[in-house]
Every structure is written in structure tokens, then in C-alpha cells.
Amino acid sequence: MPASTERSRAVSNAPARISTPSRTRSKLAAAFGSAALVLVVATVSLLSIQASRHSLERLTHAYAVRSEIRDLRQALVDAETGQRGYILSGEAAYLAPYERGRAHFREHLAELRRLSPRNVETLEHVEALGDLKLAELAKTISVRELAGADAAIDIVRTDRGESVMAELRSLFAAMEAQEDEVLSERAAEYEMWLRITTGVVGGGAILAFALAVLVNLGIRKEIAEREHSIGTIADQAEKLRAQAQILAANEVRLAHQLEEEQSLTEELRTTNEVLDARVRDVAFANAAKDRLVIQLAKSNSDLDQFAYVASHDLKAPLRGIANLSEWIEEDLADAMTDKVREQLRLLRGRVHRMEGLIDGILEYSRAGRARDADESLDTRELLDDTLELMAPPPGVSIRITPELPTVVAPKIFLQQIFINLVGNALKHARHDAAEVEIGATDGGTNWEFFVRDNGPGIDPKFHDRIFGIFQTLASRDKVEGTGIGLAVVKKLVESRGGRIWVESTLGSGATFKFTLPKTLSTSKETSHDQ
């Protein structure tokens, strides 16, 4: 057989990878399996979050019942205190606690009936004894008005009112013990659901990330295989063109090679069909790329929503912890040591710091991504509004230089920058004579703004570090802060093509400067000193 024919068959028989139905079915099965797994994790996460919220509501309800029992008892104590003060002094001013106690007794009793319908018999008994006690108090007050202090004291000495009060105290103690048991059970239930929710949400996040990585790798692999197939087809086409030239030069032998030529023609037709299939595969890959871009945009939107929901769900338990510490301090006020009070105060401080940290992380994740409409902003007016919103403490001297530019930018964008920089200056300025200066200069192609304070200054070796997220130079117990504010400012400024830096040495205060391109500004206007 001629060598040209052998080469033709070698070319036409070159291997080419073609997507088979089994591979397609495997991909579809993997896609549906991943979607089902994500749906299951999302459903379990939602159910656990709902269970946690329900448990927290039950815990809050138990605290409310416990608080109302305490307030009901205190109302009778206040009424009795007012009665005794009036009997001893005869002055009407001492009746104020008595009147408040009577009114509060009815209010708290009604609220307890609403909150705790299961204790209706006990509350009816409390109401009956309370009415007896209030009647005894009213009688002694009336006797004091008509017959004098001695007659009223004689009624008190019969101890009828004290016996009623003793029975009431016993009832209150039993009710409080019952509610304390309910509180313990519901607190344990809430803690259990909180742990479950944290584990499920964390596991779901890890699973979602792993699936995203696997999908990305699969898409990259598919694209690489298709590009390789296209290259193989191009090589085959080039070889076929060379073979056609050889066949044209050997026309004298075409008659003897008719059968081989027919075979070659069939092979060429098959190759063309494969080539057409590859072209269709490339078009499909391009469409898949477009769909992936749309999916990634939706994923970014979903991540923003997840960050907001996660922030809300993380802060809800923190608020519950803060409220719990306050209620514990109120309920155990008489038996609590100063050390325990300080520890509870530190606990609430850490909770508030954690809430600030969550808000800061959310703010940092959104910084520079918002697309609010630009507007013409008088920087002086914006600073006045910002300082009024911040409400600096009295005694702080804040000076704004006379000339500030009018710029075109989103209002929230520029206000966020000044809130963080001025807040940082107030935090670190001298406490005995805090001074802050705000101004701007013409930097040629940029407006250069500055915020200067008279604080302790910053060592030059830390000038870059302070703009990193979670970076603080002083202990958070000395200077309250999350270490996110300056990182947010840096991200905002750089998102508009500007830059930010600090000029400072130890003992000489600090000046934070940032620039905004003049393409954002319209004119320069004159303002007045503050």
C-alpha cells in the first residue's frame, strides 16, 4: 500500500476526546447531589436557628416572670415603708411610697397573670393576702389621721399585718424557687441549641466553601480538556491539508487507489463531524463561562446577605448575655461582692466590645463596595453634621480650618471616613485638654485632608501597621476600640483612587492625612472656624 495512504489513515485515526453520555450523566448526578447536599445543610441550619430563637424567647419569658415576682413583692414592701413613715412622722410626703406600692401591686399582679397563667391559683391567693395587707395599711393610716400615732401603733402591734406579710413572703419565696428551676432548665436548653446552631452553621460554611472549590476545579479542568481537544483538531486539520497536497501530486496513481481514496474520504467525513462536534463543545463552554459569571455575581450578593444575617444572629446571643448579667446583678444585689460586680461589669464590657467587633467586620467587608450615587458635598457642612452626630464630650476643642473644598462623592462614603478619623483622634487626644484640628489643602491633582490631635503620638515603626485590620497599639482595657476603623478608612479612600498615611512621632500628637482626586471635586468654598 502506498506510503501516502498509510499517512492518511494514521492522521484520521488520531485519538480525540469526545464527551460521552456516561460522563454527562456523571456530571449531572454530581451537580444534583451537590445541590441536594447544600439544600439539606441550609434546611438543618434554618431549623437549628429557629430552635435557638424559640429557646431564647422561652428563656426571656422566664426572666420576665422572675422579675415580675420580685417587683410584686417590692410593691408591698414600698407600701409598708410608706405606711410606717407616715405613722411615725405624720407627714403626707411619706405616703408617696405607699400610693406607688398600691398601684404597682395591681400592675405587676396583672402582668404575672398574663405571663404565667399556669399559676392562677397561687396568684389568686397572693391577691387575697395582698388585699388584706393593703387594707391593714389603709386602716392604720386612717387611724393615724383621726386618732394619732399611738392608736395606729397599737394596731400595728397586734401583728395581724405582719402575719399576712410573712405568709406573702413564703408564697413569693416558693414562686421564685419554682421560676429559678424553670430558668435553669431553659438556660441549659438555650445553651444546647446555641452550640448546635454554631456547629451546623460553621459546618455548612465549610461545606459550601469546599463545594465551591470543587466546582471551580471541575470547570477549570473541563475548559483545559476542551482547549486541548481544539488544539488536537487543528493539528489534524493541518495534517489533512498536507496529505491532500501529496494526493494531488500523485494523481497518476488515483485509479489504482480508488478504493483507498473512498476509505480516506469516509475518514475525512468522520473527522469533519468530530470537528463540528468540537466547535459545538467550544460554544457550550463559552455559554457555561457566561453562566458562571452570573452565578458568581449572585454568590457575591448571597455572601453579603449571609454576612448581614450572621452578624444579626451572632449579636442576638450577645445581647442575651448582657441582659442576663444585668438581671443577675439585680436579683443578687444584696449578696453580691464588689469583686463579682466588677467581673459582671467586665463581662458586659467584653460583650459590647464583641458587638462592636462584629459591626466593624461587617463594615470592613462592605467598605468600598457600595455604589451610592455621587452628590456635590460642602465639606464644612458635612463636618458640622458629622460632629453633631458624634456628640464629642464637653471640654474637647475641635477646630476646622477656614477653607474646605466642595467635592463630588457619596455622602455616606465621606462621612464614614471622618467619623472614623475624628473618633480615633478623640480617643487618643489628651484627656485633660483634648484638641482636634480638621482641614484640607490643595495638593495639585488631589485635595489633601487632615485630622490632627494632641495625643501621645505614634512611633514611626508602627505607621504602616495601624492601618491593618484588628491592629491597636494600646491595650483594649486602656483605650476602647476594635482595631478596624483605620482599616475601613484605608479601604474606602483607596476605592476612590486616593491614599492615606500618618505623620507622627512619640510625644507630638498624630496627623492623619488622606487624598481624594480632584476629578471628584467641583470647587473650593470658604467656611468659618468652629
Predicted pLDDT at 514: 96
d(CA 60, CA 195): 18
By the 8 A CB rule, do 440 and 447 touch?
yes
Q: Which candidate, 372, 373, 376, places its Cα nearest to that of 520?
A: 376
Predicted pLDDT at 405: 92
All 3 cell numbers of residue 522? 467641583
Successive 10-residue mean pLDDT values, the chain, 530 residues: 47 47 67 73 75 74 80 83 80 82 84 79 81 80 77 72 79 80 79 81 81 82 83 79 70 65 72 78 78 70 62 61 72 74 70 54 52 84 89 88 90 89 86 89 92 90 82 55 78 90 91 86 38
d(CA 529, CA 344): 44
Predicted pLDDT at 481: 55
Query: Across-strand partners of 510?
Result: 453, 504
All 3 cell numbers of residue 479? 483605650
Predicted pLDDT at 425: 87
Q: Which amino acid is at 253?
A: R
All 3 cell numbers of residue 310? 450572621
Q: Which candidate, 199, 484, 524, 234, places its Cα nearest to that of 367?
A: 484
d(CA 267, CA 273): 10
Tell me which residue has cell 419569658.
61
Q: Which amino acid is at 107?
A: E
Tell me which residue has cell 480525540.
16
Q: Which CATH architecture has domain 46-194?
A: Up-down Bundle (1.20)
Where are the domains positioned within the chain?
46-194, 372-526
Q: How many residues does the chain have?
A: 530
Fold matches, 46-194 and 372-526: no
**How many C-beta atoms lie closer than 10 Å to residue 493's C-beta?**
21
Q: Which candidate, 169, 243, 324, places its Cα nearest to that of 5?
A: 243
Q: Coil, strand or helix: which one is 439?
A: strand
Q: Coil, strand or helix: which one is 495?
A: helix
513 Cβ contact list (under 8 Å, min separation 6): 448, 449, 450, 500, 501, 502, 503
Predicted TM-score (pTM) of the model is: 0.39
351 Cβ contact list (under 8 Å, min separation 6): 318, 319, 321, 322, 325
Predicted pLDDT at 357: 52
d(CA 116, CA 519): 66
Tell me which residue has cell 392608736.
151
Predicted pLDDT at 417: 92
Instruction: Supply the CATH classification number for the domain 372-526.
Output: 3.30.565.10
